[in-house]
């Protein structure tokens, strides 16, 4: 009887050892498969970078001041059911780098079109651990196929209003690829609630505010008139969304807001890599799609990207802005003259060739 019991213990121990060994081998295999240099060896192409368009063609323009204020509205949270399917691209390509378009939408209700209120194009070099970020002004003058010249922010809205949520995202992606000449492999689009949720899930972030910011067009009316002095602040999700939304009180307008958005992004990454949050990262990554309106990145892509940034340093990020001038130009969608930003296309191409083509 005792011998039989000993055999059971031995067999149970062997079985447990096999399970542990098998689990370790599986985990090792999964880790190997998710290794960024391996996982992102072949990437999709949502839009190929074609010949850049001219922002001056067919326009009448002169120097102008600030753009008109946006009409305020009570925010209504977009429900999960309205999240858009991911646009699909062409044949995957093999590369050591890839490009991600980050879109912030001002969508305010379920199944309603939204403007692309902010756009950042991120060039990721996983082997070098380098991230080049190019901010594009929302009011940049661009050519929209089928419509004519208009603001970059209007492209998604017009396509969504006439064709649906996903075609609107596709139009925005295609326009950025055409404008910059950079192929787009992935995209992530969020709204203000998604941004709030990410920051709150991390327990808040430290954000550097490089200049005084007065909230003139807040997302929440009770925040009207609040001034945040220059300096490093600890913000919850709500205040982060308010700060990165502001542009009218800033000396450099949308260019100043781009700086705020960059600093918020850095704050989020740094918070995610804090020792107190590291154990939460797998769960956060898996929950990340719920913070987005849409993306073509799956959970494996996000986990692999998380592995790529685990040793992140601020010096790994290089940030660029495209110079431009304020003009009054004819908007083919509005059928009227409008305040827009005419980009310096030569400067844009210098940035692209130096930092987004390797």
Q: State the pLDDT at residue 312.
A: 83
> Strand pairing partners for 173?
none
C-beta of residue 341 within 8 angstroms of C-beta of residue 326 = yes
- Residue 133: is its pLDDT beyond 80? yes
Q: State the pLDDT at residue 86.
A: 58
From first CA to last CA, the distance across the chain in angstroms is 71
Cα–chain-centroid distance for residue 157? Answer: 17
Tell me the pTM.
0.80
The answer for residues whose C-beta is within 8 angstroms of residue 19's C-beta and 6 or more apart is none
Q: State the pLDDT at residue 38.
A: 85
Q: State the pLDDT at residue 33.
A: 63
> Strand pairing partners for 317?
131
Both structure tokens of 181: 């000449």
* DSSP state letters, 166-233: HHHHHHHHHHHHHHH---B-EEEEE-HHHHHHHHHHTT-EEEEE-S-EE-SS-SSGGGTT-EE-SEEE
What are the φ and ψ backbone dihedral angles of 328, each rounded to 5 degrees? -105, 115
**CA-CA-CA-CA dihedral for 220, 223, 229, 232, to nearest 10:** -50
- Residue 214: is its pLDDT beyond 90? yes
Range in 106-115, 140-149, 194-203 with the lowest mean pLDDT: 106-115
C-beta of residue 217 within 8 angstroms of C-beta of residue 132 = no
- Residue 267: is its pLDDT beyond 50? yes
Range in 74-88, 129-143, 151-165 with the lowest mean pLDDT: 74-88
* DSSP state letters, 309-358: TTT--GGGEEEEE--EEEEEEEETTTTEEEEEEEE-HHHHHHHHHHHS--
C-alpha distances in Å from residue 29, one per residue of 23, 183, 285, 291: 10, 31, 19, 29
- Residue 161: is its pLDDT beyond 70? yes
Q: Kindly state the average pLDDT of the residues 269-298.
A: 84
Q: State the pLDDT at residue 196.
A: 92
Q: How far apart are CA 46 and CA 146, in angstroms?
A: 19
Q: Kindly state the average pLDDT of the residues 234-259.
A: 95
Query: Over the stretch 284-343, which tens digit does the pLDDT of each residue have?
Result: 877 787 888 889 999 889 888 888 887 788 889 999 999 999 999 999 999 999 999 999
What are the φ and ψ backbone dihedral angles of 324, each rounded to 5 degrees? -165, 175
Higher pLDDT, 107 or 202: 202
């Amino acid at each position: 009887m005792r011998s039989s019991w000993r055999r059971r213990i031995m067999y149970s121990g062997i079985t447990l050892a096999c399970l542990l060994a098998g689990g370790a081998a599986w985990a090792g295999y999964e880790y190997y498969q998710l290794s960024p240099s391996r996982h992102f060896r072949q990437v999709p192409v949502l839009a190929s970078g074609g010949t850049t368009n001219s922002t001056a063609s067919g326009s009448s323009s002169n120097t102008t001041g600030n753009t008109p204020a946006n009409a305020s509205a009570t925010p209504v949270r977009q429900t999960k059911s309205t999240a858009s399917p991911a646009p699909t691209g062409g044949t995957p390509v093999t590369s050591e780098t890839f490009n991600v378009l980050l879109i912030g939408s001002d969508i305010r209700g379920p199944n309603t079109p939204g403007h692309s209120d902010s756009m950042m194009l991120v060039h990721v070099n996983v082997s070098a651990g380098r991230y080049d970020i190019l901010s594009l002004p929302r009011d940049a003058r661009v050519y929209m196929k089928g419509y004519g010249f208009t603001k970059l922010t209007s492209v998604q809205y017009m396509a969504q209003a006439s064709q649906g949520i996903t075609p609107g995202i596709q139009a925005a992606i295609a326009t950025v690829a055409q404008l910059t000449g950079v192929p787009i492999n992935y995209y992530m689009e969020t709204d203000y609630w998604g941004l709030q949720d990410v920051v709150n899930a991390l327990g808040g972030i430290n954000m550097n505010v490089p200049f005084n910011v007065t909230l003139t067009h807040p997302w929440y009316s009770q925040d009207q008139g609040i001034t945040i002095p220059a300096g490093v602040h600890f913000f919850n999700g709500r205040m982060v969304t308010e700060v990165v939304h502001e542009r009218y009180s800033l000396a450099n307008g949308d260019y100043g807001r781009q700086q705020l958005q960059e600093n918020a992004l850095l704050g989020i990454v740094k918070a995610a890599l804090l020792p107190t949050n590291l154990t939460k990262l797998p769960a956060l990554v898996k929950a990340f799609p719920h913070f987005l309106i849409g993306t073509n990145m799956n959970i494996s892509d996000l986990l692999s990207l998380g592995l790529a940034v685990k040793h992140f340093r601020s010096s790994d990020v290089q940030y660029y802005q495209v110079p431009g001038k304020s003009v009054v130009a004819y908007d083919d969608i509005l059928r009227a003259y409008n305040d827009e930003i005419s980009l310096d296309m030569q400067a844009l191409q210098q940035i692209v060739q130096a930092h987004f083509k390797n």
